[in-house]
């Protein structure tokens, strides 16, 4: 029994609906009345997640975006509070309007589930949690993986089994909608949609099987932690030390990287200012610099290893999952085309 059919039996109402293609734009218009809709839109030849002003802007045929949708929940720059002379003024966050991330791919949903663990477990982050509570995820199963995608190897795509409020699959003539949460159920009940016929699930499987055949990259995860621990001093790390520019682009585009720095900005009058946090990167030299100037990760190969070992070894005991979802953004963005799947293949002697 599929997840959707299991929920249908549990909730006693249909959990599979069919949204005709002609009704997509009216649905988005109605959605915008109650939510800020954020989805993939074109920027030149690339795509970004941005507020959707008109339904026609939404580009659901995209393969990947420059930055992951985590930027909606964990802002690249965020003011924590402002201050004036000796009075601390806590920045009261504006009332959060409910928002929808529409058309988010399975790999990026899985990344948000990892961020949920990072920002809500040991040290709950009120800024992230506030946005997350007001964000509805309308996911879209992936039909056209990009040339750098390898989510299939990690079980994070091209389909999705959890973590969504609504899940869409483009069947060509319309969208199969699967309900994944009570919030999603409330939304779909306002849409006056017909329950999907069972044949729609057959059509969905055909879409996914077709997508699975299009993957070019693979990452063999068998015994991955052991492989990396046994090859900590492999010659490939010295080679990467010379190749890598340590620009930090790979971490900036990563959907699961969550490190940030906290910076005080003092105004020119020296009486007021603000404290803000900014995305940070373990690939940057300053990241590991501590008091008195000591840097415990000064060498570039140490930083390269830290990024890859954190994703593929250290995440597992922290969050019970690997830290990579196979979106391929780090490969696409790297100026020197350093490919994490190639690194692992070479460590395996392939």
Q: Which of 24, 60, 29 is nearest to 42 (CA)?
A: 60
Model confidence at 1, in pLDDT bands (50, 70, 90)? Answer: very low
Phi, psi of 120 (to 5 degrees): -125, -5
What is the average pLDDT across 169-178?
Answer: 96
Confidence of residue 15 (pLDDT cuts 50, 70, 90): confident
Token pair, residue 114, equals 């990892």
Under a CB-based contact definition with an 8 Å cutoff, are residues 126 and 81 in contact? Answer: no
Q: What does DSSP assign to residue 293?
A: G
CA distance 106 to 157: 5
* Lowest mean per-residue pLDDT among 101-105, 119-123, 163-167, 304-308: 119-123
Q: Tens of pLDDT along 188-222?
A: 888 888 899 989 999 999 999 999 999 999 999 99
Name the least confident of 85-94, 251-260, 329-338. 85-94
Mean pLDDT of the 299-306 span: 94
How does pLDDT run across 238-288, given as a tens digit for each residue? 999 999 999 999 999 999 999 999 999 999 988 889 999 999 999 999 999
CA distances from 297 to 62, 282, 338, 346 (A): 37, 9, 20, 24
% of the chain beyond a pLDDT of 70: 94
Q: Which long-range contacts (CB under 8 A, 24 or more apart) does 129-134 make?
A: 130/93, 130/96, 131/72, 131/73, 131/96, 131/99, 132/73, 133/96, 134/96, 134/97, 134/98, 134/99
Cis peptide before 297 (omega within 30 of 0): no
Is 90 exceeded by the pLDDT of residue 104? yes
Confidence of residue 32 (pLDDT cuts 50, 70, 90): very high
Say whether pLDDT at 12 is over 70.
no
Tens of pLDDT, residues 44-79: 999 999 999 999 999 999 999 999 999 999 999 999
């Amino acid at each position: 029994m599929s997840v959707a059919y299991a929920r249908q039996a549990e909730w006693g109402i249909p959990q599979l609906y069919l949204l005709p293609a002609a009704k997509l734009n009216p649905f988005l218009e109605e959605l915008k009345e109650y939510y800020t809709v954020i989805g993939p839109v074109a920027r030149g030849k690339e795509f970004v997640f941005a507020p959707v002003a008109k339904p026609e802007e939404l580009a659901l045929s995209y393969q990947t975006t420059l930055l992951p949708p985590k930027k909606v929940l964990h802002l690249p720059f965020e003011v924590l509070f402002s201050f004036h002379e000796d009075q601390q003024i806590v920045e009261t966050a504006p009332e959060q309007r409910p928002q929808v991330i529409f058309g988010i791919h399975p790999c990026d949903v899985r990344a948000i589930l990892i961020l949920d663990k990072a920002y809500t477990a040991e040290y709950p982050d009120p800024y992230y949690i506030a946005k997350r509570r007001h964000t509805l995820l309308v996911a879209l199963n992936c039909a056209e993986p990009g040339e750098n995608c390898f989510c299939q190897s990690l079980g994070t795509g091209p389909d999705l089994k959890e973590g969504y409020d609504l899940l869409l699959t483009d069947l060509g003539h319309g969208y199969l909608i699967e309900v994944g949460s009570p919030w999603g159920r409330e939304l779909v009940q306002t849409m006056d949609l017909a329950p999907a016929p069972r044949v729609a699930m057959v059509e969905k499987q055909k879409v996914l099987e077709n997508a699975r055949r299009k993957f070019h990259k693979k990452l063999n995860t068998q015994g991955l932690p052991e492989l990396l621990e046994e090859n900590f001093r492999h010659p490939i790390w010295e080679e990467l030390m010379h190749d890598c520019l340590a620009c930090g682009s790979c971490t900036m585009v990563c959907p699961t990287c969550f490190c940030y720095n906290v910076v005080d900005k003092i105004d020119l009058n020296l009486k007021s200012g603000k404290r803000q946090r900014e995305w940070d990167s373990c690939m940057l030299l300053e990241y590991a610099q501590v008091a008195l100037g000591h840097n415990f990760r000064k060498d570039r190969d140490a930083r390269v290893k830290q990024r890859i070992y954190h994703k593929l070894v250290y995440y597992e005991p922290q969050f019970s999952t690997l830290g990579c979802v196979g979106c391929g953004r780090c490969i696409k963005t790297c100026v020197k085309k350093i490919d994490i799947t190639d690194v692992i293949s070479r460590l395996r002697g392939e």
